[in-house]
Structure 1
């Protein structure tokens, strides 16, 4: 039971927070089934579990640790998708689509249409690159880098996770930078035109022109999305291994 329970807890925490697996649209029973299947499949290849009774303070502490480790791995991978959503927010504001938002159950709040579109494309690229399989491989490797034990986790691992959150804004801004630059240049040109010709109605022409230019720039951005996200996914998988190494006491 111990050989199944503790790996299952870590895997369930990962499945509940990781991209694709942890989306709110995925039924909870399916998430539990996926975690149980992973625990049964990977269990024989995992290191030996500590000789600690499940019904004890040490057993409870191990369960809490496995939840934290699995959630940390899932959040590390989800940071890439958070950067894509941030880029969609930046782009939507520049295009004047801040009003075109709706409640997104996957994000747990109101999301702009552009951000939702980029998020869906990022999930398709995630699946096309087999990153979900690489994530399972990284999960199995985490049991060797950070075995199940009742020793406390190192604090530098959590610091590494917090510092990784800063990359959300940097990556999102880098993804949206070409479109933001083009739209700011267009707005500057319309401002100069309005000063040169005051009878020119900037409000009547500016919004449809900005929206049209934004759609055109999005068409140019879409083919480059895979080339932009592939190294980010690879970096996130590398960060998972660094995180498990840093959490090791």
Structure 2
């Protein structure tokens, strides 16, 4: 294939659609979309992958009108948005669990600006999401996302994405399960906090001189930390399972 043939409208259009798809995925997918990564690095990586994957992409004919061109671009953006929502819901589970844990431990006021979402969140939530991100790298979750990008080139041709109603049903169900799973992750610490509150209440009835603020809260925090460290490994195993299941749903979406 000569360089001149690559400058034909069909090849330019195909290259542009591929670059838009990869760029959109890097904007929405977890890890790749992290704010600590410079936008110039994301753009350069997207352009590099476009050059690498272009030889295996089937050439897409040039659209007959400008409206079809923008419709194809919009379909690529929607694809990246849906994939990002599906995978980021898994991280949302642990962000919500962190908020529940921080509330029962009395750490709700210990909030800082999350550099990723640009909103205030408890330190516990940020710790859990950062741990989840490290576990993602440990079991090669970023490689799984790259493999999905490659398989999507065959299962979902450029500019020809078909929106499956089942995918929207899954997203709505996953949003509902986010709160249930988030509470399940935080349940051991929430249950211990409730039990300690009952015990402290009984102590205050039998010993009115018992100072809950001075003695009770440090004990409650120490017990919560011990239980949290004991179940942290199980939390990360749950994250791995949910993330792999989410990638599996995306694979089925593109017929992979």
Q: Same fold (TM over 0.5)?
A: yes
User: Which one of the candidate residues 111, 118, 124 is aligned to 2:134?
Assistant: 124
TM-score by length of 2: 0.88
Residue in structure 1 matched with residue 188 of structure 2 by the alignment: 178
Instruction: For residues 117-152 of structure 1, give each alpha carbon's deviation from its aligned partner in whole angstroms, at most 9, with x where no partner exists.
Output: 111110000001101011011122122222224576
Say whether 1:143 aligns with 2:148.
no
Q: Secondary structure at the match of 2:30?
A: coil
Offset at residue 161 of structure 1 (A): 2.2
Kept in 2, the 8 Å contact 1:46–1:140? The answer is no
After superposition, the Cα gap between the structure-2 partners of 1:150 and 1:221, relative to the gap in structure 1 and judged at 3 Å, is: closer
40, 45, 51: which one aligns with 1:34: 45
Q: Distance in 1 between matches of 2:34 and 2:237?
A: 24
Could you say what secondary structure the match of 2:237 adopts? Answer: helix
Distance in structure 2 (CA, Å) of the matches to 1:34 and 1:147? 21
Q: Tell me how far 1:111 sits from its aligned partner.
A: 1.0
User: Which of 1, 8, 25 pairs up with 2:36?
Assistant: 25
1:167 Cα deviation (Å)? 2.4
Instruction: Specify the alignment match of 1:198 in structure 2.
Output: 208
Q: TM-score, normalised by structure 1?
A: 0.91
Deviating runs (4+, > 4 A) in structure 1? Answer: none
Question: Residues 47 and 191 (structure 1 numbering): CA distance in 2 closer, same or farther, change over 3 Å?
Answer: farther
User: Matched residue of 1:111: which SS?
Assistant: strand
Contact kept in structure 1, 2:14 and 2:158, CA below 8 Å: no
8 A Cα contact 1:87 1:173, kept in partner: yes
1:221 equivalenced with 2:231 (yes/no): yes
User: Which of 220, 238, 250 does residue 210 from structure 1 map onto?
Assistant: 220
Q: Would the alpha carbon gap of residues 50 and 187 (structure 1) be closer, same or farther in structure 2, given more than 3 Å must change? A: farther
In structure 2, C-alpha distance between the alignment counterparts of 1:222 and 1:162, rounded to whole Å: 28
SS of equivalent residue, structure 1 residue 6:
helix
The residue that corresponds to 1:48 in the other structure is 59
1:84 is matched with: 94
Higher mean displacement: 12-21 or 215-224 = 215-224
Name the residue aligned to 2:121: 111
Q: Alpha carbons of 1:131 and 1:150: their partners in 2 closer, same or farther (altered >3 Å)?
A: closer
Alpha carbons 1:96, 1:210 under 8 Å: kept: no
Point out where structure 1 has 5 or more consecutive residues left out of the alignment.
none
Matched, 1:236 2:246: yes
Equivalence for 2:3: none
Q: Which runs of 5+ in 2 are unaligned?
A: 1-11
Q: How many residues align?
A: 244
Which structure has the greater CA radius of gyration?
Answer: 2
Q: Give the conservation status (yes or no) of the 8 Å contact 1:61–1:150.
A: no
